[in-house]
Amino acid sequence: MKMKKKSLRFVAGVLAVTMLISSNSVFATTTAEYDEQIESIKSQQAENEAEAERLNEKLDSLRDQTSEAEAYQATLEEQITTYQTSIDLAVQNITQLNTNITNLEAEIKKADEEYADTFAELKVRLRSLYASGGNLTTLQILFDSTSLYDFSMRSEAMKTITKHDRELMEKIRLYRIQTQDQRDELNKEKEELADQKKDLEKKQEELQALEEENQKLIDELNIQSSETESDLAAAEAAKEDYVSQLDQLIADRNAQAEKEEEARRQAEANQNAANNNSGSGNTFSGSGNTSDVLNTGDLSFSWPLAGYGYGSITQYFGGMFSGSPHGGVDIGVPYGTPIYAAESGQVISAEYHWSWGNNVLIWHNGTYSTRYAHCSSLAVSAGEYVEKGQIVGYVGSTGQSTGNHLHFEVYQNGTRVDPLNFV
């Protein structure tokens, strides 16, 4: 339950962030506000990527645990089957022993009946002797004999009868003892098998309990894996939303910057027109430079680095960079190389940005702007008018950069386009 609550909180957080970034353009009214929101979303984007990585690692771990639990489950099932086979064999042996014991008991009963019959026959014979001779002592036999021959015959008959019956009864007695021993041995063996069967059943029950617990673990791992996959899918969806919203915010921010600069330029032009004694055109205060190019729209961009050409490009426009399409061209040149304005125009901003580092944004007309990023230092200020070919900064590696280079961008109607189409 704790895992599920955490999952729900994560999904709710992603949805909340999606709603927030989808409404950014409503709240932003200045370039500064756009910059603040862009930096905030980039920070959230980094957190989302870190969470996605964590979820991937967790999912791998859950899958490994599930594989181990399933292998253990297969082992338990095999052991349970083995114990069941042994139990079935023990039951079969006990059944056979019961049959043998029943047969022996029948034989013993038969021997007992024969013993009883023999004993009854002996009593009949003795009664006959009693009836014929009275008290069966040697003296009585002598007295009752009519002759010595009669005495010897009666004594011999007594001995014969006694010996015959004794031998028969002894044979039956020995048979009963022998079969009783066999029955006792079979009963003992049956008890041992019964004990063995109980032990096997106990172990089987223990294994079945382990099997049930392990199955619960497998079910829980599958639930956690499913929840983690859902969270990961939400993170991936949010990642795409972050990229889309950032692109839109940057475009909106640039459009807002152009609007602000156009308003500033128009106010400047109006002021210059009021103070213009020569009628030479629009002159920006403090610069002494004309801005005819801003009104003609007839632009011709030049390469921003002298002495270095296309062979110095290290990253082209549109290629993937940090999970997003690259918005300009990177030109790798030595530290401190001068950077020249590709066309004349008004400096909209000349400042440090967490990603672009020291950068200059120049507004050329209502359609085009250019940016020069990762500068080691800047040579112009916001509001200043620059001529084509004028130094605006020097190559460096400030902001989100891994080496000395110029990141050069061209904006057309607020949208970044491939600079190589213009230079």
Confidence tier at 129 by pLDDT (50, 70, 90): low
Q: In 3-state terms, what secondary structure has residue 373? A: strand
The pair of three-digit structure tokens given for residue 387, joined into one six-digit string: 């001529």
Looking at residue 6, its pLDDT comes to 47
Higher pLDDT, 6 or 245: 245
User: Which residues neighbour 319 within 8 Å (Cβ) at sequence distance 6 or greater?
Assistant: 325, 326
Q: Return the closest-CA partner of residue 371 out of 354, 385, 392.
A: 392
The pLDDT > 90 percentage for the chain reads 31
CATH code: domain 1-112+184-275 is 1.10.287.1700
Residue 292 has pLDDT above 50, yes or no: no
pTM value surpassing 0.75: no
Mean pLDDT of 209-218: 89
Residue 217 has pLDDT above 60, yes or no: yes
Residue 405 has pLDDT above 50, yes or no: yes
Looking at residue 195, its pLDDT comes to 87
The whole-chain average pLDDT of the chain stands at 78
Q: In 3-state terms, what secondary structure has residue 131? A: helix
Confidence tier at 37 by pLDDT (50, 70, 90): confident
Question: pLDDT, tens digit, for every residue of 301-316?
Answer: 999 999 898 999 999 9
Which helix (H) or strand (E) segment is 215 a member of? helix 148-275
Confidence tier at 29 by pLDDT (50, 70, 90): low
Q: Return the closest-CA partner of residue 393 out of 329, 354, 343, 340.
A: 340
DSSP-derived secondary structure letter, 398: -
Listed range (43-52, 184-193, 273-282, 305-314) with the worst mean pLDDT = 273-282
Listed range (50-54, 99-103, 267-271) with the worst mean pLDDT = 267-271
Mean pLDDT of 72-97: 87
Mean pLDDT of 91-118: 79
Residue 156 has pLDDT above 80, yes or no: no
CATH 1.10.287.1700 domain residues, the chain: 1-112+184-275
Q: In 3-state terms, what secondary structure has residue 411? A: strand
Looking at residue 98, its pLDDT comes to 84
CATH 2.70.70.10 domain residues, the chain: 291-421
Please state which of the four CATH numbers 3.40.50.2300, 2.70.70.10, 3.40.640.10, 3.30.70.600 is assigned to the domain occupying 291-421: 2.70.70.10
Strand partners, 339: 393
Q: Which residue is associated with the tokens 């967790």? A: 58
Q: How far apart are CA 226 and CA 234, in angstroms?
A: 12
Residue 20 has pLDDT above 60, yes or no: no
Looking at residue 420, its pLDDT comes to 94
Looking at residue 190, its pLDDT comes to 77
Residue 157 has pLDDT above 60, yes or no: no
Contact 402, 390 (CB under 8 A): no
Half-sphere exposure of 42 (CA within 13 A, CB side): 17
